[in-house]
Amino acid sequence: MKEYKLIIGGERVAGSGGTYEVINPATEEVVGEAPEASSADAHAAAQAARDAAPAWRRTSPENRANLLMALAVEIKKRSDDLLPLIMAETGATLKVGTALQIPQAVSRFERYARGALLDISISLPPSIMPTTPLAAGGVIGGVGLRQPVGVVACISPYNFPLVNMAGKVGPALATGNTVVMKPAPQDPLAIIEFAEICEAVGFPAGVVNVITSSTPDSGAALVDSKNIDMISFTGSTEVGVKIFAAGGKTMKRLLLELGGKGAAIVRQDADLAKAIAGLMSVWGFHSGQICTAPTRAIVHRSVYEALVAGLASAAPQLKVGPPDMADTVVGPVISGAQRDRIEQRIASGIEAGADLVVDGRSPEGVDKGFYVGPTLLANCNNQMEVVREEIFGPVIVVVPYDDDDEAIAIANDSDYGLYDYVFSEDTAAAYAMAQQLEAGHVGINTAQRNHEAPFGGFKMSGVGRDGGDFGLYAYTEMQSIVWPG
Ligand code: NAD
């Protein structure tokens, strides 16, 4: 078994707390031992990133672009080793692993290699300023430069370790920041491999550091550190709130991509096949461990029975099983603790009066691993915990409605506001509804994404935006420079 180490300032360092086991959620076997970083290790990594920052921010955009492109090439070359490791750590199915875990990370590095070359400064029109006691009047020119923030801690959740990290590290490095990566405790090993690749393709020591740990302490130490200027965090709203509060002490710049409870409004004029296909992504795409998933179906009463029946007959067609079997659609969830949490949420829905139309608890055909099959709870209302709280598993709840205003009110009656959906063949009506939804994104008749679109949440789903060029802006500070014309 490979001996994984932290990478701090170009050195491979053992975790001060020894190691901990990373468990394969499909087999419950040990995938590998990850270093257990202490708070002191986190502070050392922050210091190393700080030391490397002045030289890195002076590198040319071409240099940064070349290194990012080299990363993309190397990750692609190494995908035969990385994919099995990521699948073992995350429980991703062959389909999700092959199509997304590596290719999406590669395309993010390619995108931000191009981004490094982009001029993202803002030219200001000349301004006529009057003479004042401060200075003589005249034409004053100016520019808004986007400068690197400095040192960025990139703290990520389980589900898509490399893709999530690429979405942070890519734009952060492109714009001249150094980084400390802190992956999720459950799937850290591919991120250590990735840090080694950064070293191999020629990133200078200290520009990319990595710490891993089984506890939140090392992440919290990064949030406290004066050597960290920005926290780029993707994870739960609960932890996001803690980071928001703790980061205030050192005035951290924050990009917080948090939880969601995606409302999917299905209007009376929806193409039900399209709506059902979109909703089924909650079951079939990474076992519902997706922040943007349309988990909350809000369905016009006239099509309610048909939609519920359609989902109920589709669910058994999704094979639950080991992720490495080609016909598996629903793999395991990340851990036993998460499986138990999902099952508790389902039980709370039943207790509150929801109809359990499809029960995915204890699915057949799997005798080990942490599995929950597709689950459908119908006849729900917005007072139920199962409708209000994020589940992060393959569970759809269905709430009926009678008119458009009620649908919007139900959708917006949520602490979250990450990603909503409208299914309707009247695209003008769907667009008008989309504008009234309190969510950072709305998909009309699709669960597809546009990676150039700004990505982020309203309300408790986060602060800030990344995606496309917005990712570049997120890792910069605006600096104005003015001069007499
Ligand atoms: P989590 O919040 O439990 O953990 C995320 C990361 O934060 C981990 O690396 C963890 O070690 C670290 N952490 C925990 N406590 C910390 C603290 N006090 N200070 C600093 N770091 C700390 O999330 P998770 O369970 O790994 O992932 C699931 C959650 O992530 C869901 O809520 C999901 O919606 C969310 N998510 C959001 C997006 C998005 O883009 N909005 C994408 C994927 C996942």
Q: How far is the CA of 155 from the centre of ligand 1 (A)?
A: 8
What is the tally of helices (H) and strands (E) in the chain?
16, 22
| Atom 10 of ligand 1: nearest residue by CA position | 184
Cβ–Cβ < 8 Å for 112, 75? no
Q: What's the whole-model pTM score?
A: 0.98
Per DSSP, 186 falls in state T
Give mean pLDDT, residues 451-460: 98
Which atom of ligand 1 is nearest the CA belonging to 220? 19
Which atom of ligand 1 is nearest the CA belonging to 334? 25
Distances (CA, A) of 207 to 45, 73, 296: 10, 19, 41
How far is it, in rounded angstroms, from Cα 225 to Cα 47? Answer: 9
Q: How far is the CA of 131 from the centre of ligand 1 (A)?
A: 53
- Whether the per-residue pLDDT at 318 is higher than 90: the answer is yes
Q: Which two tokens stand for residue 420?
A: 């909503």
198 is catalytic: no
Res. 485 pLDDT band, cuts 50 70 90: confident
Quick check: CB of 242 below 6 Å from ligand 1? yes
Give mean pLDDT, residues 339-344: 98
Give mean pLDDT, residues 385-414: 98
Neighbours of 415 (CB within 10 A): 13
Give mean pLDDT, residues 200-212: 98
Residue 204 burial (CB < 10 Å; 0-12/13-18/19+)? Answer: middle
pLDDT at residue number 443: 98
How far is it, in rounded angstroms, from Cα 234 to Cα 236? Answer: 7
* pLDDT per position as a tens digit, 258-308: 999 999 999 999 999 999 999 999 999 999 999 999 999 999 999 999 999
Give mean pLDDT, residues 166-173: 98
* pLDDT per position as a tens digit, 418-445: 999 999 999 999 999 999 999 999 999 9
* pLDDT per position as a tens digit, 91-113: 999 999 999 999 999 999 999 99
3-state secondary structure (DSSP) of residue 64: helix
- Whether the per-residue pLDDT at 65 is higher than 90: the answer is yes
- Whether the per-residue pLDDT at 191 is higher than 90: the answer is yes
Q: Which of 36, 257, 380, 390 is catalytic?
A: 257
How far is it, in rounded angstroms, from Cα 329 to Cα 153? Answer: 34
| Atom 23 of ligand 1: nearest residue by CA position | 235
Query: Taking the CA of residue 99 as centre, how many other CA atoms within 13 Å lie in the half-sphere pointing to its CB?
Result: 8
Q: Dihedral sign, CA of 51, 54, 55, 60?
A: positive
**Which backbone phi and psi does 87 adopt, to 5 degrees?**
-60, -40
pLDDT averaged over every residue in the chain: 98
* Contacts by 280-285, CB closer than 8 A, 24 or more apart: 280/311, 280/314, 280/318, 280/374, 281/447, 282/394, 282/395, 282/396, 283/315, 283/318, 283/329, 283/330, 283/373, 283/374, 283/394, 283/396, 284/318, 284/329, 284/330, 284/374, 285/96
Which atom of ligand 1 is nearest the CA belonging to 239? 2
Residues 6+ apart with CB under 8 A from 76: 102, 106
* pLDDT per position as a tens digit, 176-186: 999 999 999 99
Residue 207 burial (CB < 10 Å; 0-12/13-18/19+)? Answer: buried
Cβ–Cβ < 8 Å for 384, 229? no
Quick check: CB of 235 below 6 Å from ligand 1? yes
pLDDT at residue number 1: 87
Quick check: CB of 223 below 6 Å from ligand 1? yes
291 is catalytic: yes
Q: Which of 291, 351, 380, 389 is catalytic?
A: 291
Residues 6+ apart with CB under 8 A from 147: 57, 176, 476, 477, 478, 479
How far is it, in rounded angstroms, from Cα 251 to Cα 204? Answer: 28
3-state secondary structure (DSSP) of residue 99: helix
Domains and CATH numbers, the chain: 6-258+461-484 (3.40.605.10), 263-451 (3.40.309.10)
pLDDT at residue number 48: 99
Which atom of ligand 1 is nearest the CA belonging to 160? 43
How far is it, in rounded angstroms, from Cα 420 to Cα 298? Answer: 11
pLDDT at residue number 432: 98
